[in-house]
Structure 1
Amino acid sequence: MRLLISLLVNGLLVYLCAEILSGVGIDGYFDAVIVALLLGMVNFFVKPVLTLLTLPITILTLGLFLLVINGAMVLLVDWMLDGFYVDGWIWAIVFALVMSFFNLFVGQFSVKEERK
């Protein structure tokens, strides 16, 4: 149940980001939920491999290259889904930053279950 709620909230955040940013577009809320699902899957499977492969340049840029990797993940989802549009690298990086900020903000309100 928690996974479904998280997916729906992230879909809402994707939809909100697409409304705020002029370089990002989405066809509807259902597509936003699919984008949230695909972003989660891409970040789970592809991002660790890319991060490991680009470790030298990430260290050289003091971690700033991770912004490029996050933008690449957004562009990969853009390529995978027809209802999601990103105008380029800059908008993909800005979208990833705004989504991270929104997730940080929403994460502050999440209720932690206590273990007994």
Structure 2
Amino acid sequence: MTALAVVLGVEAVLVLGATALTIVQFATHGAQVEADGFAFVACLVIGFLWVGLAAVGVWLEKRWSRGLTIVWQIIQLVVGVGALQGLLAGPLEGAVLLTLGLAGIVLVLTPGVTRALRGNAA
């Protein structure tokens, strides 16, 4: 349980860092289309809130956190594959995203986590 909460916490920090770097990049270099820049930052903020809420839910052993975690890991795997192909970032970022995504899915499906998250409905 703790390992999954740590993985989600690391992911939340990484998304927060990506958000900050993106804001700095847009502030210094601008975006090709200003609305696209705002939309991208909004998506990063939503991602941070999503994974942060999942981390807190797992830490508190809330049943609803399992669905949030699985969806987040699938999104992360898709982005990681895109990064490996050079569509979104580089291969290093893609490898990190894929590693964290696979670790998160494996951890959330372990019997101990499944048992812990099944017993707490609220």
Same fold (TM over 0.5): no
User: Which has the higher Rg, Structure 1 or Structure 2?
Assistant: 2
Between Structure 1 and Structure 2, which shows a larger proportion of helix residues? 2
The alignment's TM-score, normalised by the length of structure 1, stands at: 0.31
The alignment's TM-score, normalised by the length of structure 2, stands at: 0.30
